[in-house]
A = this chain, B = another copy of it.
């Protein structure tokens, strides 16, 4: 592993890159997960590696939705487990959600490793190892879920989900909350609440939000959920990304190289 100096301007991003590579070696993250991580890195770079105001709003609505659900479930894949294992455990506890491991490239071994990894961060009863139900409309491996978990959930938080499964969950009548840095992705467009943010910032923000909601009345939480307009929120996210491009990060450069005949 490469040692990254702490004063490197992009220390955090590089450290996450090392962590996720380590988790591939540990059998937690898949190779395709590395490519997905890269996609996230690029968009995160463009939005300035900070939570957009629209994302903060979505995060708040998402927590309110989780808190007012009967059987909320947090779906965890390899990248989520690698990036925010402790955060997932804490958030699940705060909002009373179950945790279920659900992989795009599913192997029994990887589900077991992720379960074990989350347990090492204090998780109890991690579902997903013995799936006993299927999501209609998905190919066999990806359809496998737990009856008491995702299958019967009324609300599912899916960080870093693929479009097909997001659509299938919505088809089942569930409220779907996505965390996805790409505001144009099918997942972002399909989900009821789409959080356009890096999962390493989104989960801590949601934990903070859950704590602040501790004494909030259900009626007020429901207001947060139903006043939220996902389409408007996504449009705001795109505008904020464009503004970021406008702020002219090209200007930050100390200088450009110039070809010269002389």
Instruction: Give chain A's interface residues, CB within 8 Å of chain B.
Output: 17, 20-21, 24, 31-32, 34-43, 45-46, 65, 170, 175-176, 181-184, 186, 189-193, 222, 225-226, 228, 230-231, 234-235, 238, 241-242, 245-246, 249-250, 253, 256-261
Complex interface: chain B residues within 8 A of A246 (CB): 242
Which of B24, B32, B191 interacts with A17 by CB under 8 Å? B32
Contact of B242 with A191 in the complex, beta carbons under 8 Å? no
Q: CA–CA, A257 to B230, complex, Å? A: 8
Q: Besides the contacts A21-B31, A36-B38, A183-B250, what 16 more A-B pairs have beta carbons closer than 8 Å?
A: A21-B32, A24-B31, A35-B35, A35-B38, A37-B38, A39-B39, A39-B45, A170-B257, A184-B249, A191-B257, A226-B261, A230-B258, A231-B250, A231-B256, A238-B250, A241-B245
The number of times this chain is found in the oligomer is 2
Chain B nearest CB, measured from A186 CB (Å): 8
Complex interface: chain B residues within 8 A of A249 (CB): 184
Contact of B31 with A35 in the complex, beta carbons under 8 Å? no
Q: CA–CA, A40 to B32, complex, Å? A: 14
Contact sample, A vs B, 9 pairs, CB 8 Å cutoff: A35-B35, A35-B41, A39-B41, A42-B181, A46-B46, A183-B250, A190-B256, A191-B257, A230-B258
Chain B nearest CB, measured from A236 CB (Å): 11
Chain B nearest CB, measured from A29 CB (Å): 10
Chain B nearest CB, measured from A78 CB (Å): 13
Chain B nearest CB, measured from A43 CB (Å): 5
Which of B36, B42, B170, B176 interacts with A43 by CB under 8 Å? B42
Complex interface: chain B residues within 8 A of A241 (CB): 245
Q: CA–CA, A17 to B241, complex, Å? A: 26
Complex interface: chain B residues within 8 A of A222 (CB): 261
Q: CA–CA, A230 to B226, complex, Å? A: 49
Complex interface: chain B residues within 8 A of A176 (CB): 257
- Cβ-closest chain B residue relative to A21: B31
Complex interface: chain B residues within 8 A of A261 (CB): 222, 226
Complex interface: chain B residues within 8 A of A43 (CB): 42, 46
Which of B40, B228, B245 interacts with A259 by CB under 8 Å? B228
Contact of A189 with B250 in the complex, beta carbons under 8 Å? yes
Q: CA–CA, A36 to B14, complex, Å? A: 12
- Cβ-closest chain B residue relative to A61: B259
- Cβ-closest chain B residue relative to A235: B250
Contact of A45 with B259 in the complex, beta carbons under 8 Å? no
Chain B nearest CB, measured from A256 CB (Å): 5
